[in-house]
Amino acid sequence: MLVSDLGEFGLIDRVAGALPPPGEGVVVGIGDDVAVLRTDGENYLLATCDIQVEGVHFLREAIGPYRLGRKAAAINLSDIAAMGGVPTYLLVSLAMPPQTEVSFIDELYRGLQDEVSAAGAEIVGGNMANLPDRFMIDILLLGWVEPDHLLLRSGARVGDQVCVTGVLGNSAAGLALLLDPQAEVDPEVWEQLLAAHLTPRPCLLEGRALAGMGAVTAAIDVSDGTLSDIGHICERSHVGVDIWAEQLPISEAARSAAQATGKDALDFALRGGEDYQLLFTVPQPRVGEVMEGVWAATGTPVTVIGQILPPAAGIQVVLSDGTRLPGSKGGWDHFRQS
């Protein structure tokens, strides 16, 4: 059997099954983007890590070192945001060819520092190693959250509304433009979508606002794609879901990019990853309160895009004419074609 036979998430399940059960100090272990750990203090400790590999996650000539530093930090910060937490300390491991220019590292750390300091966190250490043929950056980020503010994937209930912050599909649209540089779009559209893909903004303020309301039953950040990530909530919560295609918040910029590149804007929103918006569920009576609260606290809109159903419903995409399509998770898997 090959790793490609299992896929990323099957491999994670296999590794978790081979390890001893979590100890008493583990609130959430393998299977979520963030480990949640008990400490002697009143708050939980959060720990997450994420790796960016040249040629897999980024093209060096497209992103540049400053933006790479910002993005590498932002995707880890987004994991903390999805738990309703506060980031604190970050460690950076680098692997690179010896011929890497020192100025590249200088700019990388400038980007890291700008993103981390804006989140109120600090870079406190790391490691470096020789990797002959490509550049790699791996980040470990710590944070904290109050036990009664912790947001998990596992609490969605039948009847809950599925909500998302901001817009969906901008990052995938930006990637489509990078891969098709001859596509004709307005320069402002190009810059907007390029920024969405190369320098995403982690929704830390939105995560704290949602955690403080006590209304969210489950949450995740949109890293692998909307269908993939709602699939994680459904799996952990033992529920199904309808996603209403017509309600998806897709920007005019993403629609323009889809037209220019011959792609589907709906596919950007459903299966395109790296938007790093927060996807979450809320009991229907509290949706208005949550939408108003997040807007008042952050200026970020919240959109209702679906409803949680019994598990037998599976994952369904409902089109504007009522047609129902099986919404296979899709999205990004490191060891299978998405």
153 Cβ contact partners less than 8 Å away, ≥ 6 residues apart: 32, 218, 219, 220, 232, 233, 235, 236, 237
| DSSP string computed for 250-278 | --HHHHHHHHHHT--HHHHHHH------E
Reply yes or no on whether the pLDDT at 243 is more than 70.
Answer: yes
Reply yes or no on whether the pLDDT at 5 is more than 70.
Answer: yes
User: What are the tens digits of pLDDT across the range 78-105?
Assistant: 999 999 999 999 999 999 999 999 999 9
Reply yes or no on whether the pLDDT at 338 is more than 50.
Answer: no
Reply yes or no on whether the pLDDT at 76 is more than 80.
Answer: yes
Using alpha carbons, select from 183, 270, 214 the residue that is nearest to residue 84. 214
Q: What is the chain's mean pLDDT, rounded?
A: 94
Distance in Å from the first CA to the final CA of the chain: 20
CA distances to 45, 176, 245, 287 from 304, rounded to whole Å, are 31, 26, 11, 8
CA distances to 134, 137, 162, 201 from 72, rounded to whole Å, are 16, 7, 28, 11
Reply yes or no on whether the pLDDT at 329 is more than 60.
Answer: no
Q: For residues 328 and 191, is the Cβ–Cβ distance under 8 A?
A: no
Structural domains of the chain in order of their starting residue, each with its CATH number: 32-149 (3.30.1330.10), 161-326 (3.90.650.10)
Give me the pLDDT at residue 201, please.
96
Residue 28 pLDDT grade (very low, low, confident, very high; cuts 50, 70, 90):
very high
Q: For residues 87 and 80, is the Cβ–Cβ distance under 8 A?
A: yes
